[in-house]
Structure 1
Amino acid sequence: MSITITRDMTIGRIREVCPRADEVLSRFFGPGCFSCPNSRLKSIEFGASVHGQDVDEVVEELNRLMQEQ
């Protein structure tokens, strides 16, 4: 079963389905993202907005990783 990352998925869910997601998330959001208690509950769109990143670019990079798995 192939899962596609979408902008409304939570960061927690993305980390569950994509073991290498931390590589992308730390590059776009910084390593502090993982110590934030709400990061698991917030959407990737919210994270991108807070960190001034283009959500489409983040999602594209995560989906590229998903295809490599």
Structure 2
Amino acid sequence: MSYVVKRDSLISDIGQKCPRAIELLTDYGLSCATCFLNQFDNIEAGATLHGMTKEEIDRMIGEINEVLKEEEL
């Protein structure tokens, strides 16, 4: 897997590398996935602002990385 999402990954980068991640982020309540300010926020900051716990953030990042892995196959 060439691109791996981490806590400090910018939301805009995630959307560019994996468009399917936008839907996943939105499902988790991160409306910032489609906001123009997403180029300045990393996924941890955005998720924390939306009230997610560290465990929820880790689960979400894991799901995004699974999607990225599937798309490489």
Distance across 2 between alignment mates of 1:45 and 1:37: 17
Aligned to 2:58: 56
Greater helix proportion: 2
Structure-1-length-normalised TM-score: 0.83
1:40 CA displacement: 2.2
- Matched residue count: 67
Structure-2 residue corresponding to 1:47: 46
Verify the 8 A CA contact 1:48 1:58 in the aligned structure 2.
Answer: no
Measure how far apart 1:19 and its partner are.
2.0
- CA RMSD in angstroms comes to 1.5
Unaligned runs of 5+ in 2: none
Q: Which stretches of structure 1, 4 residues or longer, exceed 2 Å deviation after superposition?
A: none
